[in-house]
Structure 1
Amino acid sequence: MFPVGGVGVMLLLIAISGAVCWLLALALRPRLGWVTAGAIAGFVWSLAIIGAITLIPANGAPGIVPAEGRLTTCSWDIGGPAPDGFWIFSGTQRMLNTVVFVPAGALLVLALARWPRSLWVGVPVGLALLAAYSVGIEATQLALARIDRACDVTDVVDNVTGAVLGLAAGGVLALVLRPWRGRDLR
């Protein structure tokens, strides 16, 4: 039986990981400045949030999922049966799957922008790692039937779309905040 779940548990994990990431930002600030330290800590926090909202059962501990009810493969129905609404936010589940990866993409670019030469390698590698994170989440959802989540390839497409949109937003933020100046609000 999966012993935890529900919105309260998700919010608690998000709060705890936020506090840990705040400490990370404080530790990195003297060496990197607030913009870069905040971007790195924010990126880590965004990954923790994604993990919490996708790998914790949404409606409390589901108990036992019978073997007959367990999916054996991911859904390959692109754009498939995503329900309207979601347990916290209104709108479609597909929109939430897209939006949840936007901060990770934006913060990735902002974290790397302090070192402009690293952007040419770091951004594509970071995007590939975000895509791999999404695939890993879907594989975990498939393998752990007890978390009462479904593996869907559409989620990966939506997550990567959100990450790409985030990369564009991060580029704009980097141009505004210019962390490569070395004087980024120490």
Structure 2
Amino acid sequence: MLLGAGLSGLVLLGLAIVLQRRTGVVWAWAFAGLVWSLVVIALVTLLPAQGDPGVVYAEDRLGTCSFDLGGPAPDGFWIFPGGQRLLNVLIFVPPGALMVVAAARWRAGRVLAPLGLGLLAAYSVGIEWTQLELARLDRACDVTDVVDNVAGAVLGAGAGLLLLPVLRPWRARRRATG
């Protein structure tokens, strides 16, 4: 997981450096950071819970998602302290903030930001669906995770709105002439 996060970070660092000349520094880094945060979320949530979970037989896998809101939540993950619900919120704060900053680059940002929040919610649903379908991951599909993830994305979007007057992503860096 850590290797994947590091390698994807290096690739997206290069992408940000290439894009910043064309789109401006703020948008390039916000976009690369958004993509990187989505990759990290996939790595954290879609890698097997145990290093090698072994075989999960079809009759042993869960057939449906848990709709017990606030259901069983372990204390945390092996690498992150804190409750799982808090972690589910916190992991979606950066993409929510970076999505707003990236969307604000264009006049259509007022439409793109809510659309982006919807896509982040769909991403969370997709992760839970994948966890349900791929029993080998040894993960559980839980509606509480989606609620927590969307709450984190909304909090992140609020933070992104607070950052807009400072970062002003709609202004590309002007090159000095002369």
- TM-score greater than 0.5 by the shorter chain: yes
SS state at 1:80 partner: coil
Which residue number corresponds to residue 60 of structure 2? 69
Pick the aligned partner of 1:124 from 110, 114, 117.
114
Amino acid at match of 1:66: Y
Gaps (5+ residues) in structure 1?
Answer: 1-9
Which residue pairs with 1:17 in the alignment? Answer: 8
Q: Distance in 2 between matches of 1:62 and 1:20?
A: 30
Match for 1:101: what amino acid?
Answer: F
| CA distance in 1 between partners of 2:24 and 2:51 (Å) | 40
Percent sequence identity is 64
- Unaligned 5+ segments in structure 2 are none
Shift of 1:184: 7.5
Structure 1 runs (4+) deviating above 4 angstroms are none
How far is 1:86 from its partner? 2.2
Question: What RMSD in Å do the two structures reach over aligned CA positions?
Answer: 1.5
Equivalent residue number for residue 83 of structure 1: 74
What is the aligned partner in structure 2 of residue 93 from structure 1?
A: 84
Q: In the TM superposition, what whole-angstrom CA distance separates every residue of 1:83-118 from its partner, at most 9, and x where no partner exists? A: 123221111100000000000000001111222x22
- 18, 26, 35: which is aligned to 1:27? 18
Q: What SS does the aligned partner of 1:79 have?
A: coil
Q: Using a 3 Å threshold, how does the CA distance of structure 1 residues 78 and 184 change in structure 2: closer, same or farther?
A: farther
TM-score, normalised to structure 1's length? Answer: 0.90
Q: Which amino acid aligns with 1:62?
A: P
Question: Which residue does the alignment assign to 2:33?
Answer: 42
> How far has the Cα of 1:182 moved from its partner?
2.4
Give the paired residue count: 176
Q: What is the distance in 2 between the residues matched to 1:108 and 1:185? A: 26
